Structure 1
């Protein structure tokens, strides 16, 4: 079966990394009439009639020019301006999570470009001073590096690895096989998802899966197998999907990271999702892919 989260990577662009320090080439492509730019105010974008506003570079405001790359013969850029741009213009400006509806349908091919643009915008927004000396940072390499103007140290964009896992118990494929879902304290009743957490320094991804499940739900996990990954720059994560086999099934929510955790059979999942009592993650998330991969097909309803 196809996995919904892969849609957000379907239009991957050539990032043209070897061109980022070629000023003549950058200037030529910026002034080319076919090039397009996405204007980012701080970390927000303003959709126009539900679509992402790729503008001609000649119409883009002043700001940090970020080379995103090339797709279908068109060079794409992001222009990062201060947050005051959003305050001075009409229309609603959205962070990445609010833009996901605009990445549905035909526009899903823009997702890798938008993830690239807003991931770098978030990094520029959060990285203002050199961590070594506190000096001012200046953008280089078409927005992909920040160099300290005092000590010369270079900063590079951050991506934090986060594990997301579907934990199962019982004979694989059997009618009574179970999967574990949890509900965050911030979520409404009925909303459940796979468990997730960040990888700590010096930790393997598999051990991160085991630790997070033990901390959040008190369940011991043994075998861990890789499933897939999904860029998720909210603000700077890479979601790494796994399937874990439980050694124990008793749930203990001692650390209060979850409001609830449940074991569900496929029949229970189908019946509750159909009735609306169980609300599962959206179709473009790797969490949804993990759940439907285990279930064996599409399920009704989503956030």
Structure 2
């Protein structure tokens, strides 16, 4: 079966990294009316008629030009303008990435990886203003993919690996097999999702799965199997999905990150989801894909 999160990684663009300092090529592609540009204010964009609004270079405002690459025989750029533009605009006019995810999955104009690339870089540029080694101001080069200070120290975009996992217990595929989901206190009633957390220095991804599950819900995990991954520039993560097999099943939530966690059989999950008392993650998230992978099919309802 195909999984919801795969739609957000489909049809990727050629990032043409070798062209990021080719000023003649960049000027030529910017002059091409077929080139498309995404305007980003801080880390927000402004949709048009419910779709991602890619404009021609002639309609793009002044700002930092970021080369995204080539896709469908076109060049694609982002123009990053001051964050104050979206703050000063009408409420709701500029939208953060989280609010765009449902639209991205079915966007017929351009692949979601282009938007993830643009907003991931915009977030990094917005947050990275001064050199961490000497505190000098940083200026962009290589079409927005590198920052350098007056002392020649370079900074590059970072991606933080995070693990996200569905934890199972019982005989695989049996009627009484269960999966473990948790919820945070700030979520509306009925929302549950897979557990997740960041990988720490010197730690394998598999050990990060075991540590996070034990810390958050007190369950020991043994076997850990890789499932897939999803870029998640909120602000700069790569979500790496796993299926973990529980060695213990007693749940003791930490009451810090997790308010409640519980085991679900497939029958319970279907019944509660149909009743609307269990609300599962959004349809384009790897969390949803992990749950439906375990369940063996699609489920009703989502955030």
- Cα distance, 1:205 vs. partner? 0.1
Q: For residues 1-303 of structure 1, what are the structure 2 equivalents within 5 Å?
A: 1-87=1-87, 89=89, 92-107=93-108, 109-148=110-149, 150-303=150-303
Q: Which moved more, 1:82-91 or 1:186-195?
A: 82-91
Once the two structures are superposed, residues 12-56 of structure 1 have per-residue CA deviations (whole angstroms, 9 ceiling, x without a partner) of 101111111211111111111111100001111011111111111
In 2, Cα distance between equivalents of 1:184 and 1:131: 33
Judged with a 3 Å threshold, the aligned counterparts in structure 2 of structure 1 residues 104 and 204 are, in CA distance, closer, same or farther, namely closer
Q: Which moved more, 1:167-176 or 1:109-118?
A: 109-118
Where 1:80 maps in the other structure, the secondary structure is strand
Once the two structures are superposed, residues 199-250 of structure 1 have per-residue CA deviations (whole angstroms, 9 ceiling, x without a partner) of 0011000000000000000000000010000001011000000000000000
Judged with a 3 Å threshold, the aligned counterparts in structure 2 of structure 1 residues 37 and 215 are, in CA distance, closer, same or farther, namely same
Q: CA RMSD in A?
A: 1.3
Judged with a 3 Å threshold, the aligned counterparts in structure 2 of structure 1 residues 201 and 23 are, in CA distance, closer, same or farther, namely same
Q: State the number of aligned residues.
A: 302
In 2, Cα distance between equivalents of 1:198 and 1:106: 30
- Cα distance, 1:87 vs. partner? 4.4
Query: What's the TM-score once normalised by structure 2's chain length?
Result: 0.97
Once the two structures are superposed, residues 147-170 of structure 1 have per-residue CA deviations (whole angstroms, 9 ceiling, x without a partner) of 11x211100001100000000001
Judged with a 3 Å threshold, the aligned counterparts in structure 2 of structure 1 residues 188 and 62 are, in CA distance, closer, same or farther, namely same
Query: What's the TM-score once normalised by structure 1's chain length?
Result: 0.97
Unmatched runs of 5 consecutive residues or more in structure 2: none
- Cα distance, 1:255 vs. partner? 4.8
In 1, Cα distance between equivalents of 2:281 and 2:298: 12
